[in-house]
Structure 1
Amino acid sequence: MQQRELAITLWRQTWPMAIGVLALLGFQLVDSAFIARLGTAQLAAQSFTFPLSFLIIGIQVGMGIAIAALISRALGAGEGERARRLSSLVLMAGGGVIGLLAIILWLFHVPIFRLLGADATTLSYIYIYWGPQLLSAWLGALLYFSYSVFRAHGDTRLPGKMMVLSSLVNLVLDPLLIFGVGDWEGWGLPGAAWATAIAFSVGLLVTTRKLLKRQWASQLGLWLEAKQSWRPFTGIAAPAMVSQLMPPLAAMLAISVVAGLGESEVAAWGLASRLETLSLMVILAMTMSLPPWLGRCYGAGDWGQIQQLMRLAVKVALVWQLSLGVVLALGAPWLAMALAGNPEVQNELTLLIRFLLPSYAALGVCMLVVSAGNALGWPLRAMLLSSARLFICYLPFLWLGSQFFGWWGLAAGAAVGNLLAGLMAWQVMRRILSRPHRQAGFVN
């Protein structure tokens, strides 16, 4: 495939997911902006829940990566019936695993949040928010698994549309359920979680109906398929889940460092975390659209196209993310003013935006290389790269910066960690793509 045709196809596969990711992450940022109007304590309470929410997302994404890789490879090899069985398995098993995790996180949430540094006032807000938030996380996981099936079949438009639809439902419900309407005062902080749960339920109803209509799931031979596929599934899912669990673990450690600086710092860090995922929307979209395409190339043995795809994706990531980061850094004071009502939180958020947003160009390269690794048969290498990014590059510099220079040092240290991670990922990708005669093996 020519470079121009490849770029057009990548654009067609990515733009629906980019719009969907923008809508999905946009409503999460809107959640935080509404909650910020309730008060700094409520915003800090929500910020403390982010690492555990990311933990759930990490497990669901790891499972989704594995199943999308297996389904796309089956489709590339012409095994349509097996692909349908795999679709059913991930929806059933994935829902059970995430449901069990949600129950465990509810039962032990008090000691966990105390360990992260939450005080009595913050815990009182977390208590009323965490239950509905776990329900919305479980519904979101089921919705994500259905998205994985569609993406494995090369359909990125429906998941993109559903992300927009659920975002619009959430946007309408958020102010109503948080602040109320008329004489009804609303639910406050829990209202944000209930709005998300309802939005995900609407998306899940639509995608389930479409999935059954297209007959991409089958109930025949599931037990035999489970026995046949559990080894390759585990071989991809286990390292992928470990890779995805590293960020929430790092987020827990990071927020424990931030908590030592004060409540307003925790609130600013929570808003910056929401802004981070929103600013990385194109990268996140490519990590969703690219692996199934790479998986089909892997199944067909087309390593030349794999090399072209990876080089093109990295170029797009660097140009887009650096341009966006510089623009947002220049507009940091106004962006912080729009997101936070407290002047102290605004100042601290402004500093984070100026340091972190441009560094996400390097972070985006690392994210693409990790996602490609899970699709192309080197999940262990991807896991090691993800671990090194967080525990060798990111956290040590963040901690050192905070110890020596406070809030300013923490922001600068996090940015330096992202830059080092991007350089490391670039070297890993260059080594792999420079030896095409070894691509079919990918020994970890």
Structure 2
Amino acid sequence: MRNKQKSPDLLNAPIPETLKKMTIPMIFGMVTLMLFNLVDTFFVSLLGTEPLAAISFTFPVTFTVISLAIGLSIGTSAIIAKALGAGDIAEARFDGAVALIVSAVFVSVLSLFGYILMDPIFALLGADQSLMVHIRDYIGVWFIGSVFLITPMIGNAVVRASGDTKTPSMIMGFAGVVNAVLDPIFIFGFGPIPAMGIKGAAIASVVAWTCGVFIILYLLIFKRKLVSLKSKKQTFSSATQKMLKIGLPAAGANMLTPIAMAVMTALVARHGAEAVAAFGVGSRIESISSIVVLALSMTLPPFISQNFGAGKFERVASAYKTSLKFILIWQFILYLVLILFSQVIAEIFASSEGVISVITLFIWILPLGYGLQGVIILSNSSFNALHKPMNALSMSVIRLFAFYVPFAYVGSLFWDIQGLFIGALVGNVFTALISYRWFCQTLESVGVNNQAEECEA
């Protein structure tokens, strides 16, 4: 199951070096994908305001499907990595095959409902009839092709579970390149290919996903033989339950973030249009600043799950602590860089003095807590790796709706928009402390008693 040339030995190799080798390719893949998504948006924007607005209306709907896919991929990686750590190759292969089938069914059913209820869904979101023409063109194709999105995501999770993060990153990057190349061809037409407008953007995405499907299935089935439907110990039903036990709560936790952001945007809107514009820019700064954290949140779980399965709890505690120390230092250095260039960054994104002022204020306050936010994200992903998905979901609820949003609201009542930012920062401080303490206690509950003390040391 484990490809020795491509996959590091997660059970014995030095921890910092192993995590570094796993994380760097993921950073590359995520950056590449982000850049090509920007290209996608750029080409659609050339069609005019209405197509661009239509794409914006589809984001909450597509994010719901993608959140389910991400959650199922988290569950897939956790159960396969644990089986590999325990040395049960046959179980890992069976889990991988079941995950591919079940995920495709789940996403297909969800997309079918979305396709059937397309008009009422977007009417509830506030789309008028002039936009619905563009929305139907785009989302109809997107729903039909969504099964080609989930397969590479789950397949990449299977590969990552063995410690190979380079291959999934290359597949992500390749799909992004295909999408970027096909976008202008399908949107505006080229040679015998007619101009298809916004529908062309959706078709380009589906073709790119399909390329990913062929690559990942060839890799899983033929080249590395990572999946099999033969099992003497499990049934299809039991393997499905294992994956969904982690995958569905993980999907729910992902869906909480846009809900919280919508509430935060409403709070910011009370301070005027300039504040909303600045907060939107700040959210983009946060996304870019969190790339390393998000990459590590995808590479740390396979490491933890394999060592969890092998009973090597001291390596679990050490990897967790090492990752947190690194991310706290990295994000603080990044904060200093943002402070140094705060005025330049603000002027790049805005021309209004009011907006520039609020963006600068945002940069001085909220990024100070990005390291703590990293602690929360990595703790949540580690909970899933230990097969404690409800802990991760509960932590997400606590962070967003007990600390982050309420503290921001209280802060705004006393110190205006500056207080809102400070309140959100303080909310991250409290949540980081709770998540760290909770994870260390969880280590004790699943492993050896002294691991909680080692984690907290």
Q: Which of these residues, 235, 239, 242, is aligned with residue 232 of structure 1?
A: 242
- The equivalent of 2:311 in structure 1 is 301
User: Distance in 2 between the 1:242 and 1:439 partners?
Assistant: 32
Q: Which of these residues, 72, 82, 86, is aligned with residue 77 of structure 1?
A: 86
- The equivalent of 1:142 in structure 2 is 151
- The equivalent of 1:105 in structure 2 is 114
Contact 1:25 1:277 survives alignment (8 Å):
no
Q: Which of these residues, 123, 129, 132, is aligned with residue 138 of structure 2?
A: 129
- The equivalent of 1:320 in structure 2 is 330
Contact 1:117 1:256 survives alignment (8 Å):
no
Report how far residue 241 of structure 1 moved. Answer: 2.9
User: Distance in 1 between the 2:209 and 2:358 partners?
Assistant: 29
Q: Are the structure 2 counterparts of residues 141 and 111 from structure 1 closer, same or farther at C-alpha, using a change threshold of 3 Å?
A: same
- The equivalent of 1:205 in structure 2 is 214
What are structure 2's unaligned runs of at least 5 residues?
1-9, 453-457
User: Distance in 1 between the 2:108 and 2:307 partners?
Assistant: 34
Report how far residue 90 of structure 1 moved. Answer: 0.6
User: Distance in 1 between the 2:409 and 2:199 partners?
Assistant: 32
Worse-matched range after superposition: 419-428 or 165-174: 419-428
Aligned counterparts, 1:362-401, within 5 A = 362-397=372-407
1:302-341 CA distances to partner (integer Å, 9 max, x unpaired)?
Answer: 111111100111122222233334434654666577678x
Contact 1:243 1:386 survives alignment (8 Å):
yes
Letter in 1 for 2:319: L
Is structure 2 residue 438 aligned with structure 1 residue 428? yes
Q: Are the structure 2 counterparts of residues 290 and 238 from structure 1 closer, same or farther at C-alpha, using a change threshold of 3 Å?
A: same
Q: Which of these residues, 252, 255, 260, is aligned with residue 245 of structure 1?
A: 255
Letter in 1 for 2:88: E
Q: Which of these residues, 28, 42, 54, is aligned with residue 63 of structure 2?
A: 54
State the identity %. 33
Q: Are the structure 2 counterparts of residues 333 and 4 from structure 1 closer, same or farther at C-alpha, using a change threshold of 3 Å?
A: farther
User: Distance in 2 between the 1:388 and 1:185 partners?
Assistant: 51
- The equivalent of 1:164 in structure 2 is 173
Contact 1:71 1:86 survives alignment (8 Å):
yes
Letter in 1 for 2:375: V
User: Distance in 2 between the 1:36 and 1:332 partners?
Assistant: 28
1:243-270 CA distances to partner (integer Å, 9 max, x unpaired)?
Answer: 2332244345556667899999888777
Contact 1:399 1:410 survives alignment (8 Å):
yes
- The equivalent of 1:94 in structure 2 is 103
Contact 1:84 1:217 survives alignment (8 Å):
yes
Contact 1:87 1:218 survives alignment (8 Å):
yes
Report how far residue 137 of structure 1 moved. Answer: 4.5
1:61-108 CA distances to partner (integer Å, 9 max, x unpaired)?
Answer: 222222211111211222111211111111111011011111222333
Query: Secondary structure of 2:14's partner?
Result: helix
User: Distance in 2 between the 1:114 and 1:351 partners?
Assistant: 37
User: Distance in 2 between the 1:430 and 1:153 partners?
Assistant: 25
Aligned counterparts, 1:348-363, within 5 A = 350=359, 354=363, 356-363=366-373
User: Distance in 1 between the 2:196 and 2:343 partners?
Assistant: 31
User: Distance in 2 between the 1:379 and 1:124 partners?
Assistant: 40
Q: Are the structure 2 counterparts of residues 98 and 285 from structure 1 closer, same or farther at C-alpha, using a change threshold of 3 Å?
A: same
Letter in 1 for 2:256: M
Report how far residue 219 of structure 1 moved. Answer: 2.6
User: Distance in 1 between the 2:346 and 2:201 partners?
Assistant: 21
Contact 2:80 2:161 survives alignment (8 Å):
yes
Query: Secondary structure of 1:73's partner?
Result: helix
Query: Secondary structure of 2:229's partner?
Result: coil
Task: Report the TM-score when normalising by structure 1.
Answer: 0.82
Q: Are the structure 2 counterparts of residues 401 and 23 from structure 1 closer, same or farther at C-alpha, using a change threshold of 3 Å?
A: farther
User: Distance in 2 between the 1:327 and 1:99 partners?
Assistant: 44
Report how far residue 147 of structure 1 moved. Answer: 0.4
Task: Report the TM-score when normalising by structure 2.
Answer: 0.80
User: Distance in 1 between the 2:169 and 2:328 partners?
Assistant: 23
Q: Which has the larger radius of gyration?
A: 2
User: Distance in 2 between the 1:260 and 1:134 partners?
Assistant: 36
Contact 1:116 1:255 survives alignment (8 Å):
no
Query: Secondary structure of 2:164's partner?
Result: coil
What are structure 1's unaligned runs of at least 5 residues?
none
User: Distance in 2 between the 1:387 and 1:196 partners?
Assistant: 33
- The equivalent of 1:15 in structure 2 is 24
Report how far residue 299 of structure 1 moved. Answer: 0.9
Is structure 2 residue 37 aligned with structure 1 residue 31? no
Q: Are the structure 2 counterparts of residues 277 and 203 from structure 1 closer, same or farther at C-alpha, using a change threshold of 3 Å?
A: farther
Q: Are the structure 2 counterparts of residues 345 and 137 from structure 1 closer, same or farther at C-alpha, using a change threshold of 3 Å?
A: farther
Q: How many residues align?
A: 440
User: Distance in 2 between the 1:253 and 1:22 partners?
Assistant: 28
Is structure 2 residue 77 aligned with structure 1 residue 68? yes
Report how far residue 114 of structure 1 moved. Answer: 4.2
Letter in 2 for 1:219: L
Is structure 2 residue 284 aligned with structure 1 residue 284? no
Q: Are the structure 2 counterparts of residues 409 and 440 from structure 1 closer, same or farther at C-alpha, using a change threshold of 3 Å?
A: closer
Report how far residue 197 of structure 1 moved. Answer: 2.3
User: Distance in 2 between the 1:235 and 1:375 partners?
Assistant: 12
User: Distance in 2 between the 1:438 and 1:266 partners?
Assistant: 48
